[in-house]
Homo-oligomer: A and B are copies of this chain.
Amino acid sequence: MNSQLSCFIPVPAHSDFTIHNLPYGIFSRCKEGERRVGVAIGEWILDLAALEQAGILRLSEHECYFNQPNLNKFIESGSSNWHKVRRELQALLALDNPRLQHDAALQQQVLYKQQDAIMHLPVQISGYTDFYSSKEHATNVGCMFRDPKNALLPNWSELPVGYNGRASSVVVSGTEIVRPSGQIKLPEQERPVFSATRKLDFELETAFIVGKPSRLGQPIHIEDAEAHIFGMVLLNDWSARDIQQWEYVPLGPFNAKTFASAISPWVVTMQALQPFKMQGPVQEPRPLAYLQENVESSYDIQLSVEIQTPQSDSADVICQTNFKYMYWSMAQQLTHHTISGCNVNVGDLMGSGTISGSTKDSYGSLLELTWNSTTPLNLANGEQRSFLQDGDTVIMKGHAEKDGIRVGFGEVRNTILPALSFDFAEAVQVQHETV
């Protein structure tokens, strides 16, 4: 445990980015600027590409790992390098190390204020899978949309239910989200209508990033699964509930989710999260053998959702929950993902599914918080929300804290833009009528 580590760079109280964390991200100094690997420390970014160039952080004589537009090459280089870089950066930042601390010129080359940098997607995401591993969330959804008496489907307790998501539309925090349009079915009408979604929602999730590939036809053993994980991010799995309800039977959600999924820019490594490991919930029935774990595999990570409307001066916290409530672990998710032979690649993103706790203030979506609009949320400034309105900003935060050590994710933050005006559909309509 590195509980005695002190950093020469001042780290504000309650900062997520302590010397115990050192999350990786991709930044540039201007919008079209060159993308590089950086590490967050306090309010700063340590530029690993510059450290590499200066010969201070070198993994190989000839290869650049950090002057890269994503983390994939570094991640692919393997876990011994992940450990090495963490050790070297903790040493370089340590209070007792003069190397960077007493070299103002070097500091100028390798340290940037986070507020001056632009963050990008940290990894090239080759595949995106989203699980559904919160028992509370699955039960809530089952109550609302299926049968309250049998809210949890029989397969849910036997396997970590998941589905393939759309990787192309995973975006980084800060990206504005255009309200999606599509087919929705109103109860009073026989046919669906084309409309902007009236039920735009967030889903509070975390996601892990695969760090070590597996081969087609070769499942990952449950005991090896964590070694295949590089780190975690926050994930807002944006959802259009009315589109979803009309389209999702029998093949699952599609347009309702593929318009955007947003992640936080800093990847917190599994090494940084080790102090916060804990036992997950008891699994009853006991899973089939291939899903059985012998070790602690959950994490104590506090999560919250805030909403800020255009009319409010500050954000309202509308959900507080914890990753530790997740029924299925990341190791179980990954093993199950590969059990029939599916291969995974470095950069694959695997979402937890919405993380809801057992109390109403811990539900991870507006669908649950407002029970599908039946109990709207009252915000501090007097406004109400059932689902999101244009201009609303959703902010998700997450951090772990124990024995004076804090390791956090920063945030994923997105603002809603109005729907497209769709002369699109009308143009076709008109044209067709006149042919």
Interface residues of A (CB under 8 A from B): 126-127, 129, 132, 146, 153-155, 158-159, 161-169, 171, 178, 180-183, 185, 191-194, 197, 216-217, 219, 221-223, 240, 243, 246-256, 258-260, 285, 288-290, 292, 294, 336-337, 339-345, 348, 420, 422, 424-429, 431-432, 435
User: Which chain B residue has the least Cβ–Cβ distance from A124?
Assistant: B126
Cβ of A147 to closest chain B Cβ, rounded Å: 12
Residue pairs across A and B with Cβ atoms less than 8 A apart, 21 shown, are A126-B168, A155-B192, A155-B246, A155-B247, A155-B249, A158-B192, A161-B251, A180-B341, A182-B340, A183-B288, A194-B288, A194-B290, A216-B259, A221-B424, A221-B427, A251-B252, A289-B428, A289-B429, A290-B425, A290-B428, A292-B428
Q: Is the interface of A mostly helix, strand, loop or mixed?
A: loop
Whether B342 pairs with A258 at a CB distance below 8 angstroms is yes
Q: Determine which of B162, B259, B420 lies in contact with A342 in the assembled complex, contact meaning CB atoms within 8 Å.
A: B259
User: Given A216-B169, A432-B292, A255 and B339 touching (CB < 8 A)?
Assistant: yes
Whether A158 pairs with B180 at a CB distance below 8 angstroms is no
**Contact partners of A246 in chain B: CB under 8 A:** 155
Whether B258 pairs with A169 at a CB distance below 8 angstroms is no
- How far apart are the CA atoms of A395 and B221 in the complex, in Å? 33
- How far apart are the CA atoms of A243 and B132 in the complex, in Å? 18
Whether B168 pairs with A344 at a CB distance below 8 angstroms is yes
Whether B425 pairs with A289 at a CB distance below 8 angstroms is yes
Q: Determine which of B181, B294, B428 lies in contact with A223 in the assembled complex, contact meaning CB atoms within 8 Å.
A: B428
User: Given A155-B246, A167-B127, A194-B288, A255 and B428 touching (CB < 8 A)?
Assistant: no
User: Which chain B residue has the least Cβ–Cβ distance from A131?
Assistant: B251
Whether B240 pairs with A181 at a CB distance below 8 angstroms is no
- How far apart are the CA atoms of A240 and B341 in the complex, in Å? 12
Cβ of A361 to closest chain B Cβ, rounded Å: 26
Whether A343 pairs with B158 at a CB distance below 8 angstroms is no
In the complex, the count of this chain's copies comes to: 2
User: Quick one: which of A165, A240, A292, A345 has the most chain B CB within 10 A?
Assistant: A292
Q: Determine which of B247, B342, B428, B432 lies in contact with A161 in the assembled complex, contact meaning CB atoms within 8 Å.
A: B247
Cβ of A433 to closest chain B Cβ, rounded Å: 10
- How far apart are the CA atoms of A159 and B244 in the complex, in Å? 13
- How far apart are the CA atoms of A161 and B223 in the complex, in Å? 38
Whether A251 pairs with B428 at a CB distance below 8 angstroms is no
Q: Determine which of B168, B255, B337, B339 lies in contact with A340 in the assembled complex, contact meaning CB atoms within 8 Å.
A: B255
User: Which chain B residue has the least Cβ–Cβ distance from A353?
Assistant: B251
**Contact partners of A197 in chain B: CB under 8 A:** 340
**Contact partners of A161 in chain B: CB under 8 A:** 247, 250-251, 254
User: Which chain B residue has the least Cβ–Cβ distance from A138?
Assistant: B250
The 6 closest A-B pairs by CB, nearest first: A252-B252, A180-B340, A289-B429, A258-B342, A259-B341, A164-B164
Whether B164 pairs with A166 at a CB distance below 8 angstroms is yes
Whether A183 pairs with B158 at a CB distance below 8 angstroms is yes
Whether B340 pairs with A251 at a CB distance below 8 angstroms is no
**Contact partners of A178 in chain B: CB under 8 A:** 217, 341
**Contact partners of A171 in chain B: CB under 8 A:** 216
- How far apart are the CA atoms of A344 and B219 in the complex, in Å? 30
Whether A217 pairs with B420 at a CB distance below 8 angstroms is yes
Whether A256 pairs with B217 at a CB distance below 8 angstroms is no
**Contact partners of A240 in chain B: CB under 8 A:** 340
Whether B223 pairs with A255 at a CB distance below 8 angstroms is no
Whether B251 pairs with A429 at a CB distance below 8 angstroms is no
Cβ of A52 to closest chain B Cβ, rounded Å: 27
**Contact partners of A342 in chain B: CB under 8 A:** 166, 168-169, 255, 258-259
Whether A162 pairs with B251 at a CB distance below 8 angstroms is yes
**Contact partners of A344 in chain B: CB under 8 A:** 168
